[in-house]
Amino acid sequence: MSRIWRIWKTTTFRQSGFFVLLFVLFSVTILGYIAYQTSILIQRQQVSAINREIGQLNRTYQRAGTPGLVQGVQRFADRPGPGIYYVADPTGQVLAGNVKEIPTFVLQNPGVHSFRYEVEENWHDEDDNERPDRGLALVKSFQLPSGFYLVVGRDIVERRGFSAIIFEAFGWGVFWIIILSVLLGTILARNIMRRLDLISAASKKIMSGDLSERLPITKRNDEYDRVSENLNEMLERIENLMAGLKEVTDNVAHDLKTPLTRLRNKVERALNRNDDPEQMRQALQATIEESDQLIRTFNALLLIARVEAGAPDGSFELVAVDEIIEDIVDLYQPVAEDSGIELSTNLTNVPKVKGSRELIGQAIVNLVENAIKYAKAAEGVPKIEIGLEQQPNQIRICVSDNGEGIPEKDRERVLERFVRLEESRSEAGSGLGLSLVSAVARLHKGKLEILDNEPGTKVLITLPKES
């Protein structure tokens, strides 16, 4: 019973009932109008036939007098059909016709009348169907100059029976329409409730903490499937963010514990040697350097979080990537020369892209710093090249070096937070650089790829022209 009540409360069922009601009212109106117009048409045809026969009898009367009129009426009366004919003398004695008697008010008041009458025995219509004992007549009555009475008309029982058949058929039609509509509405509502129950069950699992659960998708590819696909993509994004948050928390706990412990130990040793100002100064200097590194790490985490949260509407503008690269090269050219690295560019004219100049610049800076850091291990002269090229629907930024490169099995892992392939951790860094680059690429609806430069590493940032 509760399930039936739930179906009754569904919008689908109520709308089905509403449209069925509208359809029934519309059908009643249309069929009623058709039946009325049909009845009027039949009545007009009957009146036209009556007038035509009256005209014929009138011409016969003018030509042959009363005897000819009596013969003409009897000839009409002998034909099968719905016609009604009656002629009587001034005393009311029937001379010819197919009805036993005519009401007195019809004879005494010439004009159009309708009345019930006794049908002649063994009377049959054109289809050889027996008539009922009593009929319903529509007639015109006249009193001739000779005093004789003439009545000509039609039986309208058949006409009314036709209207009754129409409405009876219509009534059954409406009945089955209502039954089938209620049945189909119930089936439709049950199917919708079944789909919604599956979505509700999956939603409850998700709310209970199982972020791996997904909304069901069928092979119909209907509107429910499209909504479920969009929600599943949203859940996928939420799950990735939650996993990233957990990963960041774990990495912060592990990777920041060591520098904080080292920082505390240095301060403690400096306090134990308070008689040596030089050692205390060196300890404070090391403390400042460790603190700066921690601040840079937290700034990188905050920037990644801001990027992954998405850019607010209106914050993007058209930026020239080639100008950003030229500014970065001017900034890092002295650093590269001091390290004995050849820093060059290979830029082509590309259209501006819609994005954040600050974030795109920061991503390229991170790639250049990584290249400078690891290109030192190159055999021969270390080289770094920053390229920019145009493709049909996108532009590609390429930063390549001829250093030791990144093993293929680690190219996905290095995009995670706090991942550093240098086990000794002798180089400064937090392992967040490539994570930030990847986040910036995703924010601009692009992608980040790490390829083999043979030797060295080639990092590609692909951005759509309309980000």
Residue 166 lies in a domain: no
The pair of structure tokens assigned to 145 is 């100059």
Q: Are residues 273 and 352 in the same domain?
A: no
CA distance 114 to 112: 7
Q: Is the dihedral of CA 65, 67, 71, 74 positive or negative?
A: positive
Residue 387 lies in a domain: yes
SS3 of residue 447 by DSSP: strand
Single out the residue of 401, 391, 386 nearest to residue 323, CA to CA.
386
Choose one of 308, 342, 359: the last residue of a domain: 308
Choose one of 219, 246, 273: the last residue of a domain: 246
* Partner residues linked to 462 by β-bridges: 396, 447
CA distance 297 to 238: 24
Q: Are residues 321 and 300 in the same domain?
A: no
How do strand 342-347 and strand 383-391 relate by DSSP bridges? parallel
CA angle 282–284–288, rounded 5-degree value: 115
Note the pLDDT of residue 122: 45
The pair of structure tokens assigned to 119 is 């049908």
Which uninterrupted H or E stretch holds 385?
A: strand 383-391
* Partner residues linked to 166 by β-bridges: none
Residue ranges of alpha helices (H) inside 309-432 are 321-338, 357-375
Residue 202 lies in a domain: no
Q: Are residues 455 and 364 in the same domain?
A: yes
Q: What's the CATH number where 384 sits?
A: 3.30.565.10
Q: Are residues 354 and 279 in the same domain?
A: no
Non-local CB neighbours of 78 within 8 Å, separated by 6+ positions? 98
Q: Are residues 271 and 416 in the same domain?
A: no
- Hey, how many other C-beta atoms are within 10 angstroms of the C-beta on 290? 17
Note the pLDDT of residue 467: 47
- CB-based burial, 13-36: b 16+ in 10 Å, e otherwise: beebeeebeeebeeeeeebeeebe
Kindly list the averaged pLDDT for each block of 10 residues, start to end, along the chain of length 467: 60 71 78 77 83 87 86 86 86 84 85 78 49 72 86 80 73 78 75 79 82 81 82 83 70 66 76 70 77 73 69 72 90 88 87 86 89 78 89 88 83 73 52 81 87 87 78
* Partner residues linked to 139 by β-bridges: 113, 153
- CB-based burial, 170-202: b 16+ in 10 Å, e otherwise: beeebeeeeeebeeebbebbbebbebeeebeeb
Residue 172 lies in a domain: no
SS3 of residue 419 by DSSP: coil
CA distance 119 to 277: 141
How do strand 134-143 and strand 317-319 relate by DSSP bridges? unpaired
Tokens 């009475």 found at: 149
The answer to whether 88 and 149 have CB atoms below 8 angstroms apart is yes
Single out the residue of 255, 258, 464, 459 nearest to residue 366, CA to CA.
459
Q: Are residues 13 and 157 in the same domain?
A: yes
Edge-to-edge strands, sheet with 94-97? 94-97, 83-88, 149-155, 134-143, 111-118
The pair of structure tokens assigned to 290 is 């460790």
Residue 338 per-residue DSSP state? H
How many structural domains compose the chain? 4
- Hey, how many other C-beta atoms are within 10 angstroms of the C-beta on 49? 16
- Hey, how many other C-beta atoms are within 10 angstroms of the C-beta on 87? 24
Q: Are residues 299 and 436 in the same domain?
A: no
Residue 94 lies in a domain: yes
Q: CA-based diameter of the chain, in Å? A: 161
- Hey, how many other C-beta atoms are within 10 angstroms of the C-beta on 262? 13
Helices 277-308 and 433-443, packing angle to 10 deg? 20
Q: Are residues 235 and 329 in the same domain?
A: no
* Partner residues linked to 113 by β-bridges: 139
In one-letter notation, the amino acid at residue 219 is: K
CA distance 265 to 259: 10
CA distance 106 to 115: 9
Q: Are residues 216 and 300 in the same domain?
A: no
Residue 378 lies in a domain: yes
Residue 167 lies in a domain: no
Residue 99 lies in a domain: yes
Tokens 């592990």 found at: 254
Q: Are residues 414 and 376 in the same domain?
A: yes
Q: Are residues 122 and 12 in the same domain?
A: yes
Peptide bond into 110 cis (omega under 30): no
Q: Are residues 424 and 447 in the same domain?
A: yes
The answer to whether 311 and 443 have CB atoms below 8 angstroms apart is yes
Domain ranges, residue 149: 2-161
CA distance 308 to 316: 15
